[in-house]
Amino acid sequence: MLERLRLQPDDESWDRLAALYTPLLRVWLRRHDLQPADADDLVQEVLGIVVREMPKFEYNGRPGAFRAWLRGVLANCLRRFWRAGRYRPTAPGGSDFEQQLAQLEDPASGLSQLWDQEHDRHVLARLLEMIETEFQPATWKAFRRLVFDAIPAAVVAAESGLSVNAVLIAKSHVLRRLREEGRGLVD
């Protein structure tokens, strides 16, 4: 997806990226006690920057490069928002906003590590939702039982009426497609 967006962007790829990342960005922005309308505005700002800057982004095979870049874009947008004086916490008391931004920018901080973990979980779950319709229900069910439920291939085969080989092929096909769609997004 990243290479398509960088080299030959099309509306469908941008729509997929927005569908993939909008919920994650909203969750992260809401953690900073932002008003819902402010969070929505910032999501649009982050995605706008991604659209403008994606042609310049180079993956180079570095694990987590896009995730770290997106985290930096988010932190910079939050900092601009805060410095412009538009930050209005939803509840009084609040937290040290500048300290949170510094942690978000520091790749070794607990907050950045939490971003990385939640990013990968969210992106994997959304990518699986996006590609599910590309497979027959029996293939998808065999994949889920084998991978997520950790049921042995022989048991999945017996349950589904497929051969063990067909169950393993189903897993392989789904994982290959998931790797194609998620290349560069998840380590």
- Residues 61-87 pLDDT 10s: 677 888 888 999 999 998 888 888 765
pLDDT of residue 185 exceeding 90: no
Compute the chain's Rg from CA coordinates: 20
22 burial via Cβ count (<10 Å: 0-12, 13-18, 19+): middle
Whole-model pTM: value is 0.74
- The yes-or-no verdict on residue 172 having pLDDT over 70 is yes
Helix residue ranges per DSSP H, the chain = 2-7, 11-30, 36-53, 65-83, 97-105, 110-131, 137-147, 153-160, 164-182
184 touches 65 (CB < 8 A)? yes
User: Which pLDDT band holds residue 32 (cuts at 50, 70, 90)?
Assistant: confident
Mean pLDDT of 115-125: 90
Distance of CA 13 to the CA centre of its chain: 14
Task: Give tens-digit pLDDT for 33-56.
Answer: 788 888 999 999 999 999 888 888
Average pLDDT along the chain: 86
